[in-house]
Amino acid sequence: MTTARATTRVILLLMDSVGVGALPDAARYGDDGSDTLGNLHAAVPLAVPTLRTLGLARVAAIGEPAPPPAGACGRMAERSAGKDSVTGHWEIAGLVLDRPFPTYPTGFPADVVAAVEQRTGHRFIGNVAASGTEIIERLGPEHLATGAPILYTSVDSVFQIAAHEEVVPLDELYRICEAAYDIVVQGLGVGRVIARPFVGEPGSFRRTGNRRDFAMPPVERTLLDALAEAGWPVVAIGKVEDLFAGRGISRAVHTRSDAEGFAAVAAAMAEESRGLIFANFVDFDTQYGHRNDVHGYAANLERFDRALADVLRRLGPGDVLVVTADHGNDPTTPSTDHSREYVPVLVAGERVRPGVELGTRETYADLGQTLAELFGVPALAHGTSFLADIVR
């Protein structure tokens, strides 16, 4: 095991849904031909010079590869069953699931909905699989008229409750979700209950940044647990705390946009000289992927690229920067759901040798195992470390 430096700090930036091509089993998930970045670039040529410098064009079909990357680059396959955010984040942290979370593509059983209604004191409308933006446009007027929250799901294992912030106050919406959590997560094994607040008038509803995820705790030990046990600070930015149910996290910062996420990363880098800063950038997925907004997705990627250049400038001598993703969400396909894809893994910093090609990793857990070795904590249950390949 490599002995960690006392000043070791990792900044892990996760581009939610930025996949780089269909996995071999993608057809089983209805995702054959999905390639979030490749298809996006074919539709809207991407200007992402910082990501290209880190080697993104060597693992994604976004034009001619740049010269050898400034650090190490590769792509990772998802070994776990599924293609949701919880599964992807857990696998990055070293936890591989051998079976997917249960899904309800035709809606939840009537007895389950009745139990949640009885527990919360609210009657629900909907109970269908739908796009989040479509369902509030369709059922939002009825919700305004009746006060009944909108229940919906997707191909992922999620129990989602949408409500207008002026009809169901946020505290009440969160209370409803907590009550539903006891029944559908603890009772059925569903991966997440998600609060989906929105505002506006019929024809112009929009979801707000006050979303909250109530996720099942990790079923095994993760990298975050190992770091916390060893006394390393773990700062979770965005929805990371929600996805790990708060476990292994010393401080959390919830954000309402990717711009807030980068501001939180800059603040954390100024405040924490060691440990893990783990940030999720969710706008790719929620604002653009699920809405099949090709141009919006491309513009967000270019904004991310410009902000990433600032993070690189802030790196200190002991820092390691990692850029990756958790699944795909190809905005060019008819589907508005996640897609089963490879994800990029780009690693940079003074400690990282330039020009390293990591190839295709068999599991996202290889990243978690690498970081475990970098921090000098006990090995995780899954994954193969590539630390020896990249450190100077």
Residue 105, domain member (yes or no): no
89 and 124 in a single domain? The answer is no
**pLDDT tens, position by position, 218-248:** 999 999 999 999 999 999 999 999 999 999 9
Residues 322 and 233 in one domain: yes
Fill in the DSSP letter of residue 287. Answer: I
In this structure, the answer to whether residues 254 and 365 fall within a common structural domain is yes
Return the pLDDT at 67.
84
Q: What is residue 258's predicted lDDT score, i.e. its pLDDT?
A: 97
Do 380 and 368 contact (CB within 8 A), yes or no? yes
3-class secondary structure, 90: helix
Tell me how crowded residue 5 is: count the other CB atoms within 10 A of its CB: 14
Query: Does residue 298 lie in a domain region?
Result: yes
pLDDT of residue 25: 97
Residue 171, amino acid: D
pLDDT at residue 48, as a whole number? 97
Same domain, 171 and 257: no
Q: Kindly state whether residues 186 and 222 are assigned to the same domain.
A: no
3-state helix, strand, coil in the chain (%, to 5): 35, 20, 45
Give the number of other CB atoms < 10 A from CB of residue 107: 16
Asked if the structure places residue 3 within a domain, the reply is no
pLDDT at residue number 1: 43
27-82 per-position pLDDT tens digit: 999 999 999 999 999 999 999 999 999 999 999 999 988 789 999 999 999 999 99
Q: Which amino acid is at 354?
A: P
If asked whether residues 333 and 375 sit together in one domain, one would say: yes
How far is Cα 43 from Cα 40, in angstroms, rounded to an integer?
A: 5
Which residue range is the domain that position 177 belongs to? Answer: 110-215
What stretches in the chain show pLDDT beneath 50? 1
What's the mean pLDDT when you consider all of the chain? 95
